[in-house]
Amino acid sequence: MIIDAHVHLVEPGSSAAALFAAPARPEDLLEQMDRGGIDAAIVLGLPGHQSPEEVLKLCAAAPERFFPLLGVDPRNSDDLKRIPRARADGFYGIKLHPRLSQVPATPEIFGPVMEHAAAANLPVLFDAVPQSPHVPLNLLEYQAFDLLARRFRQVKIVLAHACAPHVLGAYTVAKANANVYLDVSFSLAYYAGSSVEMDIGFISDKLDRFVLYGSDFPQYPADEYLITYRRLLDTRPAADRARLLAKNAIEVFNLPL
C-alpha cells in the first residue's frame, strides 16, 4: 500500500487555486495516483483560503481514497471552535500553516490549537519551511517546533517538508521528541541537487518509523515525485519502505485502512 500524506485539492478559480500554478481537482490527483499506484492521500486544508466545507466536498469525490485535514488559522475563533467536532465532521487531523497565516510557530500563538487537538486526540501537521517576509525566521525554524513538541507531548506533530533546508535539524527534533514525525513532501524536488537530497535519504533510513511519504501535489505531480523518492530509497536498502510509504501515515492519522 502507498499513501501520499501531503496533497492539496482546490476548486478552480478559488482563493486556494491562486496559490498553485497547476490544476488540483480531484480528477487530476486521482489520475496521477492511479498512474503511480498510490492507494490513498491525506488532503490538507489551507487555512484562510479554504472553508472546511470546501475541503470535505472535494474529498467526497473519492471518500475511500481521500482523507482530509482541517485547516486552522490560530487567530480565527471560528476555526478553533471546529476542532472539537473535527473528527465527527470527517477530518483526520489539523493542518497549520504559520507562513500562510503570517504568525510565528510559538506556544503563545498555537497553544489554544494544540490544547484543542490534545482534547480531541487529533494529530497536527505544520508547514515547517522557514521562509517568510513577515515572520522572523528563527520563529519558523526547527527549534521553534521543538518547544511546541515539548509543551504538548500528548499531540502527534508532523513537520511538513522536514523543515527543509534544515532537514538534519528536524531530525534532531524528532529524535528528541517521540511525538514528532517528518514528512518528505516538496523538499526532495525543490532542493534537487543540494545536500537536502542526501539528508532526506538519511532520515528515511535512520528514522524510518517517524517519516511519512508525501508529494505536495499539485506543486509536484504525485506519481513523478513517488518515482523520485523510490530512487532515493534504492540507495538506502535498509529503510523500511512499508512504514515510510504507508504504515506511519495510517498510524499517525488513524486511517481506516
The model's pLDDT over 64-90, given as tens digits with 9 standing for 90+, comes to 999 999 999 999 999 999 999 999 999
Predicted confidence (pLDDT) per residue in 190-219, tens digit: 999 999 999 999 999 999 999 999 999 999
Is 90 exceeded by the pLDDT of residue 15? no
Is 17 a residue whose pLDDT tops 90? no
Distance of alpha carbon 143 from alpha carbon 13, whole angstroms: 37
